Amino acid sequence: MSNRRTALKNIAASTAGMLSITEVFAATEKALGPKLKGKINHSVCKWCYNSIPLETFAQKCKNIGITSIELLGPNDWPILKKYGLTCALPNGAGMGIEKGFNDPANHDELVKSYEDIFPKLKDAGYTTVICFSGNRRGMSDIDGMRNAAIGLRRLMPSAEKYGVTMIMELLNSKVNHKDYMCDHTSWGAGLCEMVGSENFKLLYDIYHMSIMEGDVIATIKKYHKYIAHYHTGGVPGRNEIDEGQELYYPAIMKAIADTGFKGFVAQEFIPKREPLASLKQCVGICDIA
């Protein structure tokens, strides 16, 4: 708020006698971005907007009121900092979605990869990083959970040392990620219990979990203590989260806020219309009072 007041005073002083008060406020909004309601911290996944250069996208996001662009690696972080943005969920480690912690054969490489990224995250001021379970490949869910817990527990001392929370994404195995193991919230919560560290949590992807298990609001209320991050997406199709799909996002956002959640909600839909107009609209849908 103090930054907004300072900017408003500066703009007003420099344009005295030239602009109306409405124009002064418009100039402030352009400089700082719109003032959103504040219950939800807004982020966006860059991969959905790959046609827009990151520097341009960062400026546009700031104008919308988004404070984070995520799923970016170290080479991209300086651009975010240039525009006063953060990366609420960085990548830059791991072996991809299909090769994850459920397979012990991956553990040595995964441990090295994450131990390499932890100090870079700390230096950048970031406190999270994404990770994945991997595909089943005929493995039982309980064996995969045990295996994943063994691998993740190897990393918890380093994660705790650097103040980084590893966040495993819940993905659907029905439509988009066939055979993926971490495809139900209950499985992810069980893994959190096995790992036994506050530095391991879940990314609850609303689109993916609506497809796999439905009952989105009740699930969020039940498992919220294990969830450190959220993604959006319209069902079906993973497009805009407006009235053209079946989920009512204002109620979902209220449920998230009611749990006391202070992290980020990231837009991760694939726009069918003009991308930035859709992004602004969907941030507005999630910007609850």
* Domain co-membership, 125 together with 20: no
Residue 187 token pair: 């499985």
Average pLDDT, rounded, for the chain: 92
Q: Are strands 264-267 and 200-205 parallel, antiparallel or unpaired?
A: unpaired
pLDDT in tens, 247-263: 999 999 999 999 999 99
Residues 27 and 160 in one domain: no
Q: Which domain holds residue 84?
A: 35-286
Percentage of the residues of the chain whose pLDDT score is greater than 70: 88
pLDDT in tens, 97-142: 999 999 999 999 999 999 999 999 999 999 999 999 999 999 999 9
Query: What pLDDT score was predicted for residue 35?
Result: 74
DSSP readout, 49-107? GTTS-HHHHHHHHHHHT--EEES--TTTHHHHHHTT-B-SS----SS-SSS-TTSGGGH
Specify whether 189 is located in the same domain as 227.
yes
Same domain, 15 and 158: no
Average pLDDT over residues 272-276: 97
Domain shared by 42 and 23, yes or no: no
Cα→Cα distances 73→13, 38, 102, 271, 283, Å: 41, 27, 24, 23, 24
Residues 21 and 78 reside in one and the same domain:
no
Task: Verify that 59 and 6 share a domain, yes or no.
Answer: no
Based on the fold, state whether residues 143 and 51 are members of the same structural domain. Answer: yes
Same domain, 246 and 192: yes
Q: Domain total for the chain?
A: 2
Whether 243 and 263 share a structural domain: yes
pTM: 0.88
The CATH number of residue 144's host domain is 3.20.20.150
Query: What average pLDDT does this structure show over 182-210?
Result: 98
Type and span of the H or E element at 271: none
Q: Are residues 21 and 122 in the same domain?
A: no
Which of 67, 6, 20 minimizes the C-alpha distance to 41?
Answer: 67
